[in-house]
Structure 1
C-alpha cells in the first residue's frame, strides 16, 4: 500500500497538470490565474487531525506572472512537486489577520494546540485559483474542486473546518447540513464519515462575543462522541449564554445621531426614508446607512444596475481593497464593503474612519 506521501505526490502531479491546462487554455483566458494550495503538504506523513478549508486564495495575479515570479522557482510552469510545497509565503501565516483570529477562536475552546504542529493540520482551499474576491472565480474553475475532494480522500482528516459556512455546501449532500447557530454562524455536516463544521471566514471582523461563542462550541464539537446527537437545541442548551451575549452585543448609538454626524461631513442625503439614508461619498460612490437586517453602513457606486452594481465604477477594485484590507469591512453582494452597526464602537471613531477612507478613495481617483 502506498504511503500518504506517495499518494500526495501522485495527486499533486495530476492536480498541477489539470490546473495548468485550464490556466493556459486559449478558450478560457479568464482562467489565466495564479494557483496554489496553502500549507506545506510535504510535512504530512499521517492523517492530520484537522483540515482547514476556505473557498480560494484571496489575492490576485495571473498564472503567467506566477511562472515568472522568482519566489515560486518554477521551471516554466507549476509542477506537482512545487504545488505540494504550498504557498511560499506560508511561513509568515502566523502574522496574518485571518490566522490570528482563528487562533483566538480556538483558544476560547481550549483547542489552540491543534494549530501548533504543521504535521497535524492542513490548510487548503476548495479551488486553488487566486482571485481578490470569491465571486470572481471563473465557472470553469469550479470543475477542479473535484481535485480538492481527492485530496480530502487521501488525507482522511479527523475534522474539517470550513472558513465560510457556504463552503460546506460543496462537501455535504443537498440539505443535509445542519444550522447549529443561525443565521450563518455555525453549521455542521458529514463528508464520507468526517465531521464538517462551517464558521464565518476569519478574514472578517469578529467581536469578542462571537469568538467566544464559536470557540466554545467548536471545543465541544471536536470532542463530541457522535454528531448524530448534536442538534441546534443541544447547542442552545449548552451555550445559550454565549449565544445571547453575541446576539445582544450592540454598541449603543442613536441612528438619527449617526445620520446627523455623517450629514455634517457629507451634506444632506440625496435619498432618505425612515430606515435608510444615502449620501454622496466620493466621485461616483455613495454611502448608505440603513436599519435593514441588523443595521449596517455600506459603500458602492452611486449608480448601478443588475447583479454587479459596481461593474462600471472606475477603481472599484482599489476601493474594495481599502475597505476590506485596510479597514476590515465585510464583502457583500452589490457593495464594495459594509460595516455592521454592531462593529461601530462609537460615532466619533466611526466618523474618523470614514474621513480616512474618503481621503484614500480620493487618492486613487
Structure 2
C-alpha cells in the first residue's frame, strides 16, 4: 500500500520530533511546541510564549499515555494537538487571565482565532534554566526556523511574542525596535524572524498595568487590521495614538504625597489599620478578613517613586485565594 502523503503541518511536526527527541532523551527533558491545538484554518493571531514552565522530563513524558509516545517518540498527531493538559478555562492559570486584560487579545482568544505555542520547545522551571540547556543557541536557531515555517503554513495576520527580554530580544534577526514604552519598561517591540515582522509584548505571567492595557490593545488591533496589507512604521503608530501614548506615560509617572495617619483615620470604621512593616521606613502592612475564613495581607509602599498598594493571602499566593475569581472580576470591572 502506498504511504499517505504528509500534510505541510505534519511535515512541520515531524521535523520537530526528529530534532527534539534525541536532545530530550540525552538531557532528560520534556518537550512540545504547541500549547493549544494547531488551529490550521483559523489562526488570525499566532501567540508565542517562551518555553513550557512545568519542569517535566523525558522519562515521565514518555511513560505518560496522554503524551502518546510510540517507541520512545511523540507522534506528529499528538504534537499538532498541543499540550494534553492545556485548558483555556483554568482560572488558576494566570497566563490567560492576564492576557485577556488586553481587550484585543481577549476577543481573539474568545473567538478561537489563535494558536498558542512556545518558541523554545524544552520544558524548564524558569528562563535562567532554559539558557543552561546544552546547545541552547543551536536550539534557538532551529526554533526560529521552525517558527518561520509555521507562519508560512498558517499565515496569521499578526504574530505576537510574549516576553520582551526573554522573548523577542532572543529570537529576532534584527535589533529590536521599541514602539511603546513606559519609563524603562517596553510594552510593544518590533523584530523580524526570517524577514517576517513579529511583535513583542511583556509576558502575561504578571498583570498589565492599568494605564497600559488600552493603548497596547489599540495598537495591536491597528497592526492586525493594517499590517497584512502594508508595513506599519513606529512613527505612524505614535502619530495615530499620540493621546493614548501620552496617557500611558502619565500613568507611569504619578507623583503624590501619602499621609499614613490620614489613611488610617479614614479606615478606622472598617477596623482596618496599616502598621509598620518589619521596621522598614515607608512600607506598611495590614491584615483584614477576606471571603470565608481567608485573610488578606495588604502592603502599602510609599517610599519609592511609584507608590503602590498590593495584597495577597496572608498564608500563600494570591492565586490560592478561594475568592480570587470574584476579586479579579471586581478589579476588571
TM range (shorter): 0.5 to 0.7
1:114-263 counterparts in 2 under 5 A? Answer: 114-118=108-112, 120-137=113-130, 138-139=132-133, 140-149=135-144, 150-156=146-152, 157-166=156-165, 167-182=167-182, 183-224=185-226, 226-231=230-235, 233-234=238-239, 237-244=242-249, 246-248=251-253, 253=258, 261-263=275-277
Q: Following the alignment from structure 1 to structure 2, what is the Cα–Cα distance between the partners of residues 213 and 228? A: 16
Alpha-carbon shift at residue 52 of structure 1 (Å): 0.6
Alpha-carbon shift at residue 14 of structure 1 (Å): 2.0
Alpha-carbon shift at residue 248 of structure 1 (Å): 4.2
Q: 1:144 to 1:34 in 2, by over 3 A?
A: same
2:160 is paired with a residue whose SS is strand
Answer yes or no: is the 8 Å Cα contact 1:213–1:246 preserved in 2.
no
Output the TM-score relative to the length of structure 2.
Answer: 0.68
Answer yes or no: is the 8 Å Cα contact 1:236–1:243 preserved in 2.
no
Q: Following the alignment from structure 2 to structure 1, what is the Cα–Cα distance between the partners of residues 193 and 234? A: 16
Answer yes or no: is the 8 Å Cα contact 1:186–1:199 preserved in 2.
yes
Answer yes or no: is the 8 Å Cα contact 2:180–2:188 preserved in 1.
yes
Output the TM-score relative to the length of structure 1.
Answer: 0.63
Structure 1: runs of 5 or more not aligned: 26-30, 278-288, 296-340, 359-365
Structure 1 equivalent of residue 86 of structure 2? 90
1:307-318 counterparts in 2 under 5 A? Answer: none
Structure 2 equivalent of residue 32 of structure 1? 28
1:101 is paired with a residue whose SS is helix
Structure 2 equivalent of residue 12 of structure 1? 13
Alpha-carbon shift at residue 133 of structure 1 (Å): 1.1
Structure 2 equivalent of residue 319 of structure 1? none
Q: 1:241 to 1:158 in 2, by over 3 A?
A: same
For this pair of structures, how many residues does the alignment match? Answer: 273
Answer yes or no: is the 8 Å Cα contact 1:159–1:196 preserved in 2.
yes
Answer yes or no: is the 8 Å Cα contact 1:33–1:129 preserved in 2.
yes
Give CA deviations for 1:310-358 in whole Å, capped at 9, x if unaligned. Answer: xxxxxxxxxxxxxxxxxxxxxxxxxxxxxxx54x24xxxx4xx484349
- The alignment's C-alpha RMSD in Å is 3.6
Q: 1:213 to 1:188 in 2, by over 3 A?
A: same
Q: Following the alignment from structure 1 to structure 2, what is the Cα–Cα distance between the partners of residues 253 and 87? A: 47
Question: Is the deviation greater in 168-177 or in 48-57?
Answer: 168-177
Structure 2 equivalent of residue 324 of structure 1? none
1:261-276 counterparts in 2 under 5 A? Answer: 261-263=275-277, 266=278, 268=279
Q: Following the alignment from structure 2 to structure 1, what is the Cα–Cα distance between the partners of residues 136 and 94? A: 27
Q: Following the alignment from structure 2 to structure 1, what is the Cα–Cα distance between the partners of residues 106 and 6? A: 26
Question: Is the deviation greater in 64-73 or in 233-242?
Answer: 233-242
Alpha-carbon shift at residue 64 of structure 1 (Å): 0.9
